[in-house]
């Protein structure tokens, strides 16, 4: 059975340090697909280093959605893979060595529409509907720019295809999906602000330490006075 290629478009939320990418999947016509197929979309998205995925957030975000399963992995091929949430971008820390990119593998099950009437047109039972899936991203700490933002091309690569549940599942040979990358705008610091940051940051840190030391000595003084009052009261008795 021949299934048409996967048709996919992307859209993004407004510029933010926590952008959201929406995947729009248009399922193929269900007429040549038997009901036993249980059609699913298998996708692999390769992320640029400037953004990352929070594994703990994905579990809650994808619950109850069309995403039936997902996996995070690295291009390095390590069995144990951990997302470094607090790590700056490699460009920011001036490392040119390839540390491996994050890849998210998604299995998406398109919902089926029941017999209804929409704008005078009947929807046949079992017809597959368009699927919209949101993927939450987070920006890494980036090097300052003059504009205070950086435009990132997303994603670096998309692979995927429609498969029946009876087909063997593998992400190693998923075909490339022709697509037009979208621009993600991530805020950064500004070069013009750097002198102020270098001056204000240590001042705030020293003020914070000074406040803590003051509170500690103040607490010790209060405890000493309280003990002295207790001793005096005992002598008076």
pLDDT tens for residues 38-61?
788 899 999 988 999 988 888 888
Contacts of 5 (CB under 8 A, 6+ apart): 161, 162, 175, 177
Task: Report if residue 230 sits inside a domain.
Answer: yes
Flag whether pLDDT at 67 surpasses 60: yes
pLDDT tens for residues 162-175?
888 655 555 557 88
* Cβ neighbours of 51 (radius 10 Å): 22
Q: What integer is the mean pLDDT of 123-127?
A: 50
Task: Report if residue 2 sits inside a domain.
Answer: no
The model scores a pTM over 0.85: no
Do residues 38 and 116 both lie within one domain? yes
Nearest to 53 by CA among 140, 129, 137, 130: 137
Domain boundary among 172, 189, 206: 189
Handedness of CA 143, 44, 65, 63 (dihedral sign): negative
Do residues 176 and 200 both lie within one domain? no
Q: What integer is the mean pLDDT of 59-81?
A: 78
Do residues 37 and 16 both lie within one domain? yes
Residue 100 has what pLDDT? 66
**What are residue 131's phi and psi, to 5 degrees?**
-110, 130
Do residues 95 and 17 both lie within one domain? yes
Do residues 122 and 203 both lie within one domain? no
Nearest to 85 by CA among 43, 45, 46, 57: 57
Q: What proportion of the chain, given as a percentage, has pLDDT over 90?
A: 11
Q: Tokens standing for 231?
A: 């001793």
Could you list the residue range(s) of the whole structural domain that residue 223 is in?
192-236
Count structural domains, the chain.
Answer: 2
Beta bridge partners of 163: 40
Residue 200 has what pLDDT? 93
pLDDT, greater one: 146 or 226: 146
Residue 6 has what pLDDT? 82
Do residues 130 and 209 both lie within one domain? no
Residue 156 has what pLDDT? 83
Residue 205 has what pLDDT? 94
Do residues 211 and 179 both lie within one domain? no
Q: How far, rounded to the nearest angstrom, does the alpha carbon of residue 147 sit from its chain's CA centroid?
A: 24
Do residues 185 and 230 both lie within one domain? no
Do residues 170 and 224 both lie within one domain? no
Do residues 139 and 49 both lie within one domain? yes
Task: Report if residue 199 sits inside a domain.
Answer: yes
């Amino acid at each position: 059975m021949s299934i048409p290629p996967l048709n996919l478009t992307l859209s993004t939320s407004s510029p933010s340090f926590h952008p959201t990418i929406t995947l729009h999947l248009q399922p193929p016509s269900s007429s040549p697909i038997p009901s036993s197929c249980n059609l699913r979309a298998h996708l692999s998205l390769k992320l640029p280093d400037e953004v990352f995925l929070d594994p703990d957030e994905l579990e809650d975000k994808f619950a109850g959605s069309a995403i039936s399963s997902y996996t995070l992995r690295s291009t390095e091929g390590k069995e144990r893979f951990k997302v470094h949430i607090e790590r700056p971008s490699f460009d920011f820390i001036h490392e040119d060595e390839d540390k491996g990119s994050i890849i998210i593998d998604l299995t998406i099950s398109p919902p089926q529409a029941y017999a209804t009437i929409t704008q005078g047109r009947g929807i046949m039972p079992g017809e597959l509907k368009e699927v919209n899936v949101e993927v939450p991203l987070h920006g890494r700490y980036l090097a300052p720019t003059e504009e205070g933002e950086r435009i990132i091309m997303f994603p670096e690569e998309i692979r995927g295809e429609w498969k029946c549940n009876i087909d063997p599942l593998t992400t190693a040979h998923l075909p490339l999906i022709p697509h037009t990358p979208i621009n993600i705008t991530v805020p950064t610091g500004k070069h013009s602000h750097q002198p102020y940051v270098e001056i204000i940051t240590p001042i705030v840190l020293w003020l914070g330490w000074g406040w803590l030391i003051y509170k500690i000595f103040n607490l010790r003084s209060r405890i000493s006075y309280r003990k002295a009052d207790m001793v005096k009261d005992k002598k008076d008795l």
